[in-house]
């Protein structure tokens, strides 16, 4: 046990070192090394791209089989559909609650910072109008789409909600049928073991993968766009910080009694991973494994983490809230209190509809803008800076999933608090 712990800790620090040195190298490459074949073709778009994307693909490769196997075995060992329902309902309530809090605080902070005041923009001034309006999804269709007409197809497409739905039914029925289906039950348990081992294997290259991903991103982007949109960037980052360091920590303390700092410290590698990949989906396997080491039962996390990666995006909602304030001020459009209420509802829905992959938050932002009549062309103004904010908000998205999961686990006696606080 002691040996294992030591090993894990070293991987954590290695990821951290990979992250920081990737950022530093990326900035050096951007500002100090002149463009040329060696830098651009062989290093940034060659080596960094291949190793970084190869690593992300490796993690993505794990998502469907790992989630499916661990959900089936998790719900099977819980065996009680009522208990499962309770966990699910609690997690969903917390997901919606934290998202509305996130967006409300983003609107508040946005109005304190006033990122767009005095810009006096008009639509004709925006050259790039590639941003297109997105229709709000149809509620009944979204709901019906959770039931797969063909589960194999759902799995093949990596449709997370269909996958969860089908796996839960399989697990509960396997528990009910007991000995009659022992073979299949064992098969899933063994598949679960196999996928855990595979996760460890892929995670071995995490420090290098993370290094290449961030080095590539930072060598591509300079900080010019950041300086231009400094107030907007500040608004998003400070709202994200409030969500992570105040709201989540308070919720953790109040609802579970765990030490919030211990939680953050142990969960940090997952945040670093989410930051470098900008994908909640790709972070699912690492998140489940890390939470298990922290004392959260996989019976809960295997269910609520993929669910959260699909429907809970607090960081994304925060970006959308600040963007609403920014664009409304830049275009001199006054928003009323009831407009703000509409934004809270629309951004919460958009967060449910945002897939856990890079940049989607920018696409669903058009839905939020539409809800209060802001020009979708305004999205073009923040595109240049979105990459780095996407990385940052993804780190918060996955932290939100983990906090709600920890609370749901605690409320169902499936959290080892001593392990978490150790």
Interface contacts to ligand ASP, rule CB under 6 A: 278-280, 313, 316, 354, 356-361, 390, 393-394, 397
Task: State which residue, 104 or 274, has the beta carbon closest to ligand ASP.
Answer: 274
Q: In whole angstroms, how close is the CB of 146 to ligand ASP at the nearest point?
A: 20
Task: Using the Cα atoms of residue 66, residue 69, residue 72 and residue 78 in order, give the sign of their dihedral.
Answer: negative
Distance CA 234, CA 101 (A): 19
Task: State which residue, 175 or 206, has the beta carbon closest to ligand ASP.
Answer: 206
Length of the chain: 422
Q: In whole angstroms, how close is the CB of 103 to ligand ASP at the nearest point?
A: 13
Q: In whole angstroms, how close is the CB of 59 to ligand ASP at the nearest point?
A: 13
Q: In whole angstroms, how close is the CB of 257 to ligand ASP at the nearest point?
A: 28
Q: In whole angstroms, how close is the CB of 64 to ligand ASP at the nearest point?
A: 16
CA 95 to chain centre: 12
Alpha helices in 2-80 (DSSP H): 2-32, 49-78
Q: In whole angstroms, how close is the CB of 358 to ligand ASP at the nearest point?
A: 5
Q: Give the residue closest to ligand ASP by C-beta.
A: 361
Q: Which residues contact 49 (CB under 8 A, 6 or more apart)?
A: 212, 216
Q: In whole angstroms, how close is the CB of 365 to ligand ASP at the nearest point?
A: 9
Q: In whole angstroms, how close is the CB of 353 to ligand ASP at the nearest point?
A: 11
Hey, what are 389's tokens?
A: 């904010």
Task: State which residue, 313 or 385, has the beta carbon closest to ligand ASP.
Answer: 313
Q: In whole angstroms, how close is the CB of 361 to ligand ASP at the nearest point?
A: 3
Cβ–Cβ < 8 Å for 207, 20: no
Secondary structure letter of residue 296 according to DSSP: B
Task: State which residue, 258 or 278, has the beta carbon closest to ligand ASP.
Answer: 278
360-371 and 379-411 helices, crossing angle to 10°: 100
Task: State which residue, 151 or 315, has the beta carbon closest to ligand ASP.
Answer: 315
Task: State which residue, 316 or 328, has the beta carbon closest to ligand ASP.
Answer: 316
DSSP 115-150: TTTT----GGG-S-------PPPPHHHHHHTTS-SS
Distance CA 161, CA 274 (A): 21
Per the listing, tokens 């969500």 go with 243
Alpha helices in 145-279 (DSSP H): 151-157, 160-177, 182-204, 206-220, 224-228, 230-242, 248-256, 260-277
Task: State which residue, 60 or 105, has the beta carbon closest to ligand ASP.
Answer: 60
Q: Which residues contact 73 (CB under 8 A, 6 or more apart)?
A: 171, 188, 189, 192, 302
Task: State which residue, 56 or 170, has the beta carbon closest to ligand ASP.
Answer: 56
Phi, psi at 71, each rounded to 5°: -70, -40
């Amino acid at each position: 046990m002691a040996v294992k712990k030591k090993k894990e800790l070293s991987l954590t620090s290695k990821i951290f070192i990979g992250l920081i040195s990737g950022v530093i190298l990326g900035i050096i490459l951007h500002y100090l090394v002149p463009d040329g074949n060696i830098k651009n073709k062989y290093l940034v778009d060659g080596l960094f791209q291949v190793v970084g994307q190869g690593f992300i693909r490796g993690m993505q490769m794990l998502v469907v089989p790992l989630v499916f196997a661990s959900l089936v075995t998790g719900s099977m060992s819980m065996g009680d559909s009522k208990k499962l329902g309770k966990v699910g309902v609690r997690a969903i309530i917390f997901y919606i609650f934290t998202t509305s809090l996130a967006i409300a605080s983003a609107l508040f902070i946005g109005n304190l910072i006033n990122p767009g005041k005095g810009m006096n923009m008009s639509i004709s001034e925006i050259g790039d109008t590639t941003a297109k309006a997105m229709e709000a999804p149809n509620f009944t269709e979204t709901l019906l789409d959770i039931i797969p007409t063909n589960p194999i197809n759902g799995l093949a497409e990596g449709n997370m909600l269909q996958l969860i739905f089908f796996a839960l039914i399989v697990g509960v029925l396997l528990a009910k049928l007991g000995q009659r289906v022992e073979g299949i039950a064992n098969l899933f348990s063994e598949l679960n073991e196999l996928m855990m081992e595979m996760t460890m294997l892929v995670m071995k290259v995490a420090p290098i993968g993370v290094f290449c991903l961030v080095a590539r991103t930072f060598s591509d982007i300079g900080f010019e766009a950041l300086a231009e949109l400094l107030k907007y960037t500040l608004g998003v980052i400070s709202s994200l910080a409030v969500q992570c360091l105040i709201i989540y920590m308070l919720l953790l303390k109040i609802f579970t009694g765990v030490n919030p700092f211990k939680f953050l410290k142990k969960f940090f590698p997952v945040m670093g991973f989410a930051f470098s990949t900008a994908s909640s989906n790709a972070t699912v396997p690492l998140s489940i494994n890390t939470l298990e080491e922290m004392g959260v039962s996989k019976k809960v996390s295997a269910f609520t983490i993929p669910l959260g990666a699909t429907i809970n995006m607090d960081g994304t909602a925060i970006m959308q809230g600040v963007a609403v304030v920014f664009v409304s001020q830049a275009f001199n459009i006054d928003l009323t209190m009831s407009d703000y209420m509409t934004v809270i509802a629309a951004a919460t829905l958009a967060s449910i509809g945002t897939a856990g992959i890079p940049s989607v938050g920018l696409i669903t932002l058009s839905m939020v803008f539409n809800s209060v009549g802001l020009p979708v062309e305004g999205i073009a103004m923040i595109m240049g800076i979105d990459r780095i904010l996407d990385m940052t908000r993804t780190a918060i998205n996955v932290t939100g999933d983990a906090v709600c999961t920890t609370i749901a686990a605690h409320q169902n006696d499936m959290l080892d608090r001593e392990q978490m606080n150790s």
